[in-house]
Amino acid sequence: MYGSKPAGSMSRRRAASAAVLGAAALLLAGCSSSGDGDGGGKGAGAGITQQPKEADPFWVNPDGTAARQVASLTEAGEKDQAEQIRKIAQQPTGEWISPENPEEQARGFTEAADEAGRTALLVLYNIPHRDCGQYSEGGAADGDAYRSFVDGVAKGIGDRAATVVLEPDAVLHLVDGCTPQEFHEERYDLLKGAIDKLTALKNTKVYLDAGNAGWGHPDQIFDPLKRAGIDRADGFAVNVSNFYTTEDSIAYGKQLSAKVGGKHFVIDTSRNGNGPYTEGAPDERWCNPPGRALGETPTTKTADPLVDAYLWVKRPGESDGECKGGPKAGEWWPEYALKLAQG
């Protein structure tokens, strides 16, 4: 299976973690901001606050997994480790909407973000036939189920501010041969429908996933992106859940932008501080590689006018899959999180 793919095409998988917050957690997040919307109270006893809005308008979840890890380590007297994990907990990261109760999740996250005067960062990763049967396999049962999922997310967001990264790998896997031909037309239709539904919302921006600097060449993906509706989106996303440097990601994104009407893009910098892993089998370098580090912190103040933001789409510390000793895809891996933070 791997041998049938272009070089580098298997270098990206990611985990969609179940993002359901309990009512108590949402209440805590939503009521913890200061009166001017620039504060953000303490979540999980960890003292997690919002970042300065002028550089980083995205919402920090004060009750996220990393924040709970900080609280647990602090309580155990592991202050040095707690401060390392705080590097993750204090930054806004993507909330991956799971198929269960998507409307409630989207509403909860956007309401909490709105209370803090921030923008929620959401990731939709539920396309049918997702990840071609690998670590993050799954997705909606069929096209109708996916449309219902997107409808739920849209209802949950409403008029509140949200930035949505749409379907990591979905277009990429149409190009590299991973997704069977029989599903291609439906996938294009579903992606276009999702873009239309979400961009119709008053304060929602949508970035369609477009691969990474190590996958291939923009010539291979620009036409599929057009067929998937990139012209209707706010832009595209690169390096989601991967490790390519910001410099290389900007270069890749600018080449691609020139082929899709000058569209802007966002870069996932969550784990690219040390660049990509270059040892071992190429097909496994994307999965929990050792020796990686956190990248630039999320911000809208970037190095290029075409780059709308550096984002932490992948939540640092969550496993890529059951490889190199890691737990299931999307599960929190404390040891790996600590190593990322330590750089």
What span, in angstroms and rounded, lies between the C-alpha atoms of 169 and 289? 19
Cβ atoms of 307 and 322 within 8 Å: the answer is no
What span, in angstroms and rounded, lies between the C-alpha atoms of 227 and 151? 21
Each residue of 55-73: pLDDT tens digit? 999 999 999 999 999 999 9
- Which of the residues 114, 169, 248, 268 is marked catalytic? 169
Does the annotation count 38 as an active-site position? no
Does the annotation count 320 as an active-site position? yes
- Spell out, as residue ranges, where the chain has pLDDT lower than 50: 1-44
Estimate to the nearest angstrom the gap between the alpha carbon of 339 and the chain centroid. Answer: 20
Q: What does the DSSP 8-state code read for residue 211?
A: -
pLDDT of residue 22: 38
What span, in angstroms and rounded, lies between the C-alpha atoms of 283 and 96? 24
- Which of the residues 63, 131, 209, 234 is marked catalytic? 131
The strand order across the sheet containing 162-166 reads 95-97, 120-124, 162-166, 204-209, 235-238, 264-268, 307-311
pLDDT of residue 134: 74
Give the structural domain span for 327: 2-342
pLDDT of residue 133: 67
Helices (H), the chain: 23-31, 65-75, 79-89, 102-115, 143-157, 172-175, 184-199, 218-227, 246-257, 334-342
> Considering its fold, how many domains does the chain have in total?
1
Does the annotation count 169 as an active-site position? yes
What is the C-alpha R_g of the chain? 19
Would you tell me how many other CB atoms lie within 10 Å of the CB of residue 66?
28
What span, in angstroms and rounded, lies between the C-alpha atoms of 166 and 174? 15
- Which of the residues 56, 114, 176, 320 is marked catalytic? 320
The CATH number of the domain holding residue 254 is 3.20.20.40
Cβ atoms of 92 and 312 within 8 Å: the answer is yes
What span, in angstroms and rounded, lies between the C-alpha atoms of 17 and 221? 27
pTM: 0.89
pLDDT of residue 321: 93
